[in-house]
C-alpha cells in the first residue's frame, strides 16, 4: 500500500490553487486572467485536475462552467486546506502572551540556583501558558539537543560540533566554601593545602560512557597538584548545601553561588585564565529560525548575565 506521502508526491499542489480559482470564477477565461495564465494553459490545468480526481469537475454552460458534485465537495474543504498550507509557508509569529510552547533546558545546578527562579517568575508574567522543563546537566548534551529532547544546554566551552550554535556566557573562578564557624576561618593566611586536610563534597555531573569527561573542578585541582578527600557526592545541590552548613566538610562552587548566613567563601583560587571555567549556551541549528526559541534564548541570557 502506498503511503500518504507517496500519493501526494505525484500531485502538483499548485493544481489545488487553480481548482480554487475555477470554483470561484466559474469561468476558464477569468480564472486564467486571475492566475496570469493563457487560456490554453488554463485548459491544460483543468485537464490535469480531471485526471487527478478522475472526474470531469466542470461542465460547460452558457454562463461559463458548472461544477460537478465532486467539485462541490472539494469546494467545501479547499478554503481550509489552502489556509493551512498558507500558514505553514508564512513566517512564524510568536506571541508570548498566548503561546503554550514547551521549552527544555539543561543547566548546571550551581547556575540554576541564580537563574531559574527569576527566569520562571518573568515567564509566569510575560508568557503564562509557556511550559519550561529543566533537565539534569549532562557531560554530553549533544545527542539530546540533536534529537530535540533539549532546546538549550549550558555546557563547558570545549569540544563543540559545528552543527551547534555556541553563545559565550562567561568565565567563573571556583571558590571553596565552608560553614561560617569552620575552624579554617581562623587561619590568617590560608593555603590550598590547608583545605586538603578536610573532607570535600562533590557535585555529580551525569556522564556519558561514549565520551571522555573530566569534571572541571577535578581538572583544576589536578593543575594545582592536590587531591581532595571526597566523602559525599550528589546531583542534588540543596543536599550538598545542607551538609555543608552542618559539618566541617568543604564544597567547591562558582564564585557567584548564593550565600546564606550559614556558609561563606573560605578560599578563592587566583583569578586568571588558568583557573577559570568557561561556559557557553548551546543550541542546535534546528531552533535558529524559531521566533519562540529565540525569544526564550534572549530571556535566558538576560538572567544568566555575565558570569565573569
The per-residue pLDDT for range 195-212, each reduced to its tens digit, is 998 999 988 776 654 455
| 162 and 282 inside one domain | yes
| 78 and 23 inside one domain | yes
**155 found inside a domain:** yes
The number of domains in the chain is 3
164-172 vs 277-284, strand pairing mode: antiparallel
Read off the pLDDT of each residue in 131-155 and give the average, rounded to a whole number.
89
**96 found inside a domain:** no
Read off the pLDDT of each residue in 282-304 and give the average, rounded to a whole number.
91
CATH number of the domain at 65, please.
1.10.10.10
| 262 and 293 inside one domain | no
Q: Report the mean per-residue pLDDT for the chain.
A: 86
| 231 and 156 inside one domain | no
pLDDT in tens, 28-39: 999 999 999 999
Cβ neighbors of 261 (< 8 A, separation 6 or more) are 180
| 107 and 136 inside one domain | yes
pTM above 0.85, yes or no: no
| 159 and 188 inside one domain | no
Q: pLDDT tier at 152 (50, 70, 90 boundaries)?
A: very high
- Looking at residue 2, what is its pLDDT? 58
Q: How many CB atoms lie within 10 A of CB 44?
A: 12
C-alpha 188/C-alpha 190 separation (Å) is 6
| 263 and 179 inside one domain | yes
| 229 and 80 inside one domain | no
| 132 and 8 inside one domain | no
Q: pLDDT tier at 91 (50, 70, 90 boundaries)?
A: low
C-alpha 230/C-alpha 218 separation (Å) is 11
Produce one character per residue of 158-187: b if its CB has 16 or more CB atoms within 10 Å, e if not: eeeeeebbeeebbbbbbbbbbbeebebeee
Q: Concatenate the DSSP letters of all residues of 115-138 into one string.
A: HHHHHHHHHHHH-TT-EEEEEPPB
**214 found inside a domain:** yes
C-alpha 263/C-alpha 201 separation (Å) is 14
**220 found inside a domain:** yes
C-alpha 12/C-alpha 10 separation (Å) is 7
Selection from 206, 212, 60 nearest residue 144 by Cα: 206
| 65 and 125 inside one domain | no
- Looking at residue 207, what is its pLDDT? 60
Q: How many CB atoms lie within 10 A of CB 2?
A: 9
**29 found inside a domain:** yes
Residue 154 buriedness (CB in 10 A; 0-12 / 13-18 / 19+): buried
**216 found inside a domain:** yes
| 182 and 257 inside one domain | yes
**92 found inside a domain:** no
Range of the structural domain that residue 167 is part of: 102-171+277-304
pLDDT in tens, 224-238: 888 888 889 888 888
- Terminal Cα distance for the chain, rounded: 60
Q: In what order do the strands lie in the sheet with 277-284?
A: 131-135, 102-106, 152-156, 277-284, 164-172
Length of the chain measured in residues = 308
**74 found inside a domain:** yes
CATH number of the domain at 255, please.
3.40.190.10
pLDDT in tens, 1-18: 457 777 777 778 889 899
pLDDT(262) > 90: no
| 256 and 178 inside one domain | yes
R_g of the chain computed on alpha carbons: 31
- Looking at residue 249, what is its pLDDT? 95
Query: What's phi and psi for 32, nearest 5 deg?
Result: -60, -40
Amino acid at each position: 500500500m502506498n503511503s500518504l506521502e507517496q500519493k501526494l508526491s505525484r500531485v502538483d499542489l499548485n493544481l489545488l490553487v487553480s481548482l480554487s480559482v475555477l470554483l470561484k470564477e466559474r469561468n476558464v477565461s477569468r480564472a486564467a486572467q486571475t492566475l496570469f495564465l493563457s487560456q490554453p494553459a488554463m485548459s491544460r490545468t483543468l485537464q490535469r485536475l480531471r485526471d487527478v480526481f478522475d472526474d470531469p469537475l466542470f461542465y460547460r454552460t452558457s454562463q461559463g462552467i458548472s461544477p460537478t458534485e465532486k467539485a462541490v465537495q472539494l469546494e467545501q474543504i479547499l478554503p481550509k486546506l489552502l489556509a493551512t498550507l498558507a500558514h505553514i509557508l508564512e513566517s512564524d509569529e510568536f506571541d508570548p502572551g498566548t503561546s503554550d510552547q514547551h521549552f527544555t533546558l539543561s543547566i548546571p545546578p550551581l547556575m540554576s540556583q541564580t537563574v531559574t527562579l527569576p527566569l520562571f517568575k518573568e515567564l509566569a508574567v510575560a508568557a503564562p501558558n509557556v511550559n519550561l522543563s529543566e533537565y539534569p546537566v549532562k557531560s554530553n548534551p549533544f545527542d539530546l539537543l540533536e534529537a530535540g529532547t533539549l532546546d538549550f544546554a549550558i555546557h563547558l566551552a570545549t569540544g563543540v560540533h559545528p552543527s551547534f550554535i555556541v553563545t559565550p556566557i562567561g568565565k567563573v573562578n571556583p571558590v571553596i566554601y565552608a560553614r561560617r564557624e569552620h575552624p579554617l576561618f581562623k587561619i590568617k593566611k590560608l593555603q590550598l593545602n590547608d583545605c586538603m586536610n578536610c573532607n570535600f563534597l562533590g557535585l555529580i555531573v551525569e556522564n556519558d560512557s561514549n565520551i571522555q569527561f573530566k569534571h572541571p573542578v577535578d581538572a583544576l585541582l589536578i593543575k594545582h597538584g592536590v587531591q581532595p578527600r571526597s566523602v559525599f557526592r550528589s546531583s542534588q545541590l540543596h543536599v550538598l548545601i545542607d551538609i555543608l552548613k552542618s559539618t566541617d566538610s568543604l564544597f567547591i562552587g562558582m564564585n557567584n553561588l548564593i550565600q546564606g548566613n550559614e556558609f561563606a567563601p573560605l578560599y578563592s583560587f587566583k583569578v586568571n585564565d588558568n583557573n577559570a571555567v568557561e561556559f557557553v549556551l548551546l543550541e542546535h541549528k534546528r531552533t535558529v529560525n524559531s521566533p519562540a526559541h529565540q525569544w526564550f534564548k534572549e530571556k535566558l541570557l538576560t538572567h544568566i548575565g555575565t558570569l565573569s
